[in-house]
Amino acid sequence: MVNKLNSYDYVVIGSGPCGMVSGNLLSKKGKTIIIEEGPKVEDRERDIYTYKQISNGYVGGGINVAIGYPPVLLSEGKCIGGGSAVNSSLHHRAPTHVWHKWRELFNLKGFDEEFVENSYKEIENIFSTKKGNIKASIFYETAELIGEKVTRIPRWGNEDSNGRLDRWTARKIFYQKLIDNGTKILHLTKFLSAERDKNNIWNIHLKDLQNKKIFKIFSANLILGMGSGKTPIALRNLGLKHPQLGKFEIHPSARVSCYFPKAEKSQSIVEPFQITGHFPYLMIGSSATRSELSESFYPYKNNIDEIDFSYVQNFYAMAPSNKKGKIVLKGIFKGLKFYFLDSRAKFHLKEGMNLIIKIAKKANSPLIYHTGMTLDLNKNNSPKHIDDFIESCIKKTLSSVHVMSSAAIGENRKFCPLNSYGKIPGIDNLLIVDQSTLPSCPTVNPQATSCVISLINTKRFLNEKQ
């Protein structure tokens, strides 16, 4: 125990699912506080992907761009519950071949197959992960009819007979439990910096964003769960220098909207289905089905009354890629991100767009569009016109909701700024627990896998303290 006022055994920076999973374990062993820069946001299914939630719960209020050609819109949560509060609650395990790659190429130690399997089960139990019975929309029904493999994806939470999801976010599971056991959770509080004193105690500088006051707390241990965009900057400020620190990966995605005026409306805000037959090079899934979002994507505002946007469904094509972007870690441009789409990922995105167009046309959609262009599917469109539509789509809508691997773990020092345990060798009282620690792109939604790594490494961290 640190014998100072405002002192703790464990300070966790970041309240995303990884930070909360870690903080819950730590709080059972000592005095713990969790620091969150963002606010509390509503996180029921009806709240996700609303303008209010996006503007309040995302980094940059939803405007978070990696500079490149084309630029990439990145989605990162900044609120109590982090990404689990603002995303679609879909749950994926990283494939076996990805874990094999991490063990072989990155020399990841302490994550044997049985251990990882049991840890996935533990995370799935914590977040009540299961597949529901919601009916697939006309898009996925048609995809199956033409021979595409459509997979029902489990979600964090419980689905009722009407397809409504009772979401199990990190906030819902842990927030009150942590408060009740004496853990403090400060939101709207920004982490500024930290340094260790001569007694190996962390002096942590914070800013109360409501009162505009800077203050300091002390801790025997510091846990960083700030996310892939900010954790590398904090590590660089702590003195870590490594050529791969801040080199992030994403899932490049392009998005389109399909109009189905005669079809039954989707039962879910985000349908828990994906077309996975082209995995791991391509995955097609649903973006949020919200009338106001669909309307904002439509490029021609002067004839907007011609479409009933409640009958529009939004989809993405995602091409997992190991292409790296770069975060500027110091200087006046600190925090700036750069990412350039590689030719292979672009090829697969174009294949995905062609497949979405094919399915939409077969399902009798008269119109498909994105923010820059429309495609009338009742016309006999030339290959060049379709290709122009797809090229425009990639340029106008390139995005990623998954940012990862900017502080990779493993024993291969060429690729990994951190060791397998999520630590800087030689600093025993610092632990990293967020998506930045993924060794590389897991080819699927990384949320569950980053929680597994956080769970395993926090348990290991505590065992070392005994």
Please write the tens of the pLDDT for every residue from 74-104.
Answer: 999 999 999 999 999 999 999 999 999 999 9
pLDDT in tens, 341-374: 999 999 999 999 999 999 999 999 999 999 999 9
Inter-helix orientation angle 96-105/113-126, to 10°: 130
Tokens 């303290």 -> residue: 465
Of residues 203 and 160, which shows the higher confidence score?
203
Give, in words, the CATH class of 132-165+252-324+342-400. Answer: alpha beta
- Asked if CATH classification 3.40.50.720 holds for the domain at 7-89+92-126+169-247+403-465, the reply, yes or no, is no
Residues 6+ apart with CB under 8 A from 345: 252, 319, 321, 323
Tokens 């805000």 -> residue: 269
Give the model's pLDDT for residue 315: 98
79: left (phi over 0), alpha (psi -120 to 50) or beta: beta
Q: In the chain, pLDDT over 90 holds for what percent of residues? A: 94
Give the model's pLDDT for residue 159: 86
Q: Give 295: exposed, middle or buried? Use CB within 10 Å, 0-12, 13-18, 19+.
A: middle
CA geometry: angle at 433 spanning 431 and 434, to 5°? Answer: 150
CB under 8 A, 24+ apart: contacts of 373-378? 373/299, 374/298, 374/299, 374/300
Q: In the chain, pLDDT over 70 holds for what percent of residues? A: 99
Per-residue b/e over 402-417, b at no fewer than 16 CB within 10 Å? Answer: bbbbbbbbbeeeebbb
**Which CA distances in Å does 15 have to 43, 106, 174, 188?**
14, 28, 10, 11
Strands 65-66 vs 72-74: parallel, antiparallel or unpaired: antiparallel
Strands 273-275 vs 325-327: parallel, antiparallel or unpaired: unpaired
- Residue pair 271/286 in contact by the 8 Å Cβ criterion: yes
What is the rounded distance in angstroms from the CA atom of residue 233 to the CA atom of residue 238? 9
* pTM of the model as a whole: 0.97
**Spans of all domains in the chain:** 7-89+92-126+169-247+403-465, 132-165+252-324+342-400
Give the model's pLDDT for residue 3: 56
